[in-house]
Amino acid sequence: MDYLKWSSQDLVGTITLGNAPANALSSKVLKELSGLLDEIEHDDNVRVVLIQGEGRFFSAGADIKEFTTIENGEQFSNLARLGQNLFERIENFPKPIIAAVHGAALGGGLELAMACHFRLVSEKAKFGLPELSLGLIPGFAGSQRLPRLVGTARAAEMLLTSVPISGEEAVKVGLANHAYPESELFKNALNMAKQISKKSPVSLKAILELLSFTKTNEFHAGVEREAVLFGAQFESADGQEGISAFIEKREPNFVGK
């Protein structure tokens, strides 16, 4: 694998996002993660999966440089669907997947963490969806998962202001389960994963299937509409300006077109 690292021991497998420094989620990373999940699903020696980031971040988000290679809104919508389908698979995966988040989970990184069955975080980690600062919108189902976890009003604030929250605050609003000092995060995540791994694989699979019934049909309609608007936003003048400003390390000048 070029972008991921994989290890397993005592029925617990660990996926490490190894595309430092940002661990950006390019289409190549997403496809590599999908292929790894194919193997994990059929590996009887793995009952629980941890996802973590290497280096300073969990993941700082999608690969903005890749955006400059996309030619039109349809291709941008297809990128959204690639991420949406993968994260839907993670959320419905027959084995528990736990995100162990340190540093920052921004944009696509937060969308990946939200797709996991639950999140354990470092106290000072940063969580946010900053896409509107780039003249864009979330594309990997973030606009639909975030309100389910933190409520519509809090999600609206996070989405519209682009201001991130800390790991401690993430626990308070329901975005994360527990927050630890960064030096203790993975140890605690591994201990919890081992505790879960002792349960019957049949029972684990059954509970995860039952949890999937808490979704509504409106969720799936929402993520499809998100993909369409993701493409439309890419084709807008503001979307192109936001991407250019990010690459050029300057403030964007949005004109409302």
C-alpha torsion sign, points 234, 225, 173, 86: negative
Whether 182 is catalytic is no
What are the tokens at 71? 């030619």
Q: Which amino acid is at 26?
A: S
End-to-end CA distance of the chain: 41
19 closest CA partner among 31, 37, 10: 31
Catalytic option among 88, 123, 131, 226: 131
Query: Beta partners for 14?
Result: 7, 50
Distance CA 207, CA 183 (A): 31
Catalytic member of 111, 182, 241, 248: 111
**Alpha-helical segments (H) within the chain:** 27-41, 64-67, 73-91, 108-115, 142-150, 152-161, 167-173, 182-197, 201-211, 217-235, 237-248
Q: What is the residue type of 143?
A: S
Pairing mode of beta strands 104-106, 118-122: unpaired
111 has catalytic annotation = yes
Distance separating alpha carbons of residues 158 and 174, to the nearest angstrom: 14
Query: CA 157 to CA 19: how far, in whole Å?
Result: 30
Residues marked active site are found at 111, 131
